[in-house]
Amino acid sequence: MEEVWEDNPMKQLGAIMSSEIAQTPQVFSAILNNPNAFNSVKDVLTEQKIQSVLILARGTSDNAAHYLKYLIETQIGLPVGLTSPSSVTVYKSELKYKNTLVIAISQSGQSPDLVHFATAAREASAYIISMTNDDSSPLAKIAHNHFSLMAGPELAVAATKSYNAQLLVSYLLVCAWTSKEVHGVKIVEEAKRIASDSDLVAKAVVNTTRAHEIVILGRGFAYPNAREAALKIQETCKISVQGLSTADYLHGPISALTADTQVFIVAPKHMPAESIVEATTKIRKTSPRIFWIGNGGTPTGSDIILAGSNCDDEITSTLVDAMVLQRFALEFAVASGFDPDAPEGLSKVTLTH
pLDDT at 348 over 70: no
pLDDT at 81: 98
Average pLDDT over all residues of the chain? 93
One domain for residues 208 and 154 = no
Boundary of a domain, candidates 187, 214, 246: 187
* Residue 101 lies inside a defined structural domain of this protein: yes
Residue 52 is assigned to a structural domain of this protein: yes
Q: Is residue 352 part of a domain?
A: no
Segment 232-266, tens digit of pLDDT: 999 999 999 999 999 999 999 999 999 999 999 99
Give the bridge partners for 92, in sequence order.
Answer: none
> Looking at the structure, do residues 112 and 203 belong to the same domain, yes or no?
no
Is the C-alpha dihedral spanning 215, 218, 224, 226 positive or negative?
negative
Q: Is residue 126 part of a domain?
A: yes
Tell me what pLDDT residue 293 has: 98
Residues of the chain with pLDDT > 90, as a percent, come to 89
- Judge if 163 and 254 occupy the same domain: no
Say if CB 73 and CB 103 are below 8 A apart: no
353: pLDDT confidence band, cut at 50, 70 and 90?
A: low
Would the pLDDT of 151 be above 70?
A: yes
pLDDT category of residue 343 using cuts at 50, 70 and 90: confident
Query: Does 203 lie in the same domain as 175?
Result: no
Last residue of a domain, one of 187, 211, 230: 187
End-of-domain residue from the set 187, 208, 226: 187
Domain identity same for 182 and 201 = no
Q: Say whether both 157 and 251 belong to one domain.
A: no
162 falls within a domain:
yes
Question: Does 218 lie in the same domain as 82?
Answer: no
Residue 252: burial class (beta carbons within 10 Å; 0-12, 13-18, 19+): exposed
Please name the amino acid found at residue 163: Y
The verdict on 261 and 155 lying in the same domain is no
Q: Residues 6-49: pLDDT tens digits?
A: 444 445 899 999 999 999 999 999 999 998 999 999 999 999 99
Which pLDDT belongs to residue 243? 97
How many structural domains comprise the chain? Answer: 2
Same domain, 150 and 291: no
Q: b vs e for 152-185, b when ≥16 Cβ sit within 10 Å of the residue's Cβ? A: eebebbbbbbbbbbbbbbbbbbbbbbeeeebbbe
- Report yes or no on 134 lying in a domain: yes
* Each residue's pLDDT tens digit, 154-178: 999 999 999 999 999 999 999 999 9
Residues 6+ away with beta carbon under 8 Å from 337: 13
Residue 71 lies in a domain: yes
292-326 pLDDT per residue, tens: 999 998 899 899 999 999 999 999 999 999 999 99
How far is residue 213 from each of residues 152, 257, 263, 264, 285, measured CA to CA in Å?
35, 9, 8, 11, 17
Give the domain range for residue 233. Answer: 197-335
Question: Residue 109's closest CA among 156, 151, 53?
Answer: 151
Domain identity same for 250 and 140: no
Contacts of 268 (CB under 8 A, 6+ apart): 221, 222, 225, 294, 295, 296, 308, 309, 314, 317, 318, 321
Helix (H, G, I), strand (E, B) or coil at 310: coil
> Which pLDDT score, from 0 to 100, does residue 287 have?
86
Q: Is 306 found in the same domain as 247?
A: yes
Report which residue type is found at 53.
V
Mark whether 27 and 161 lie in a shared domain.
yes
The CATH number given to whatever domain includes residue 260 is 3.40.50.10490
Q: Is 258 exposed, middle or buried (0-12, 13-18, 19+ CB in 10 A)?
A: exposed
The answer to the question of residue 342 being in a domain is: no
Stretch (H or E) spanning 304: strand 304-306
**Separation of alpha carbons 279 and 110, rounded Å:** 39
